[in-house]
Amino acid sequence: MEELKPILALDVGNVNIGVAISDKEHIFAMPLAIIKRDGSEIDAIKNIIEEKSIEEVVVGLPKNLNGTIGPQANIVLEFLEKLKEALPNIKFVTWDERYTSVITHKMLKFQGIRSKKERKIKDKFEALFILESYLEFLRRQKREEES
């Protein structure tokens, strides 16, 4: 049986990229980092991928509520193309992230984290929720294959 590797998740925004990572068994997801969109973001992502032995990256795709691709999703897809060029051996998966910002806002508010601090940390928690929903999808898929 081949050894599993952690999965990385990216929440690509205009200013920052939230990053989350799973454990090797794909059970837990943890917030990892926030990368500034300053021109060095592809190198920063590359470094994390190499350092953590990542083979699969889930990229949140912010679809419109009706499921269509809007301007923000197009920005993410353009960035994804650059990532694929820079990292041709990595498997990239887009993942519908329509409600992650709402879930993140409610979770941080519930934790008592106010808007000023929330702005500083929300991106990595949005990546966390993208990754958690993707891991749940993988577990469901595995259960269906086994039954």
Residue 66, pLDDT score: 83
d(CA 5, CA 24): 5
pLDDT band at 124 (very low <50, low <70, confident <90, very high): confident
Instruction: Report pLDDT digits (tens) over 24-44.
Output: 999 999 999 999 999 999 999
Sort strands 56-61 and 7-12 into parallel, antiparallel or unpaired. Answer: parallel
Instruction: Report pLDDT digits (tens) over 47-84.
Output: 999 999 999 999 999 887 788 888 889 999 999 999 99
Q: Name the burial class of residue 92, with classes exposed (0-12), middle (13-18) and buried (19+) by CB atoms within 10 angstroms of its CB.
A: middle
Residue 117, pLDDT score: 64
The CATH code belonging to domain 7-146 is 3.30.420.140
Report CA-CA distances (Å) from 140 to 1, 46, 95, 120, 134. Answer: 20, 30, 15, 33, 10
Q: Provide the 8-state DSSP code for 93.
A: E
Sequence-separated (6 or more) residues with CB below 8 Å from residue 61: 69, 73, 76, 77, 94, 95, 96, 97
Sequence-separated (6 or more) residues with CB below 8 Å from residue 34: 16, 17, 18, 19, 120, 121, 123, 124
Residue 1, pLDDT score: 56
d(CA 51, CA 42): 14
What does the block give as tokens for 133? 């929903």
Sign of CA dihedral 129, 67, 13, 137: positive
In this prediction the pTM is: 0.86
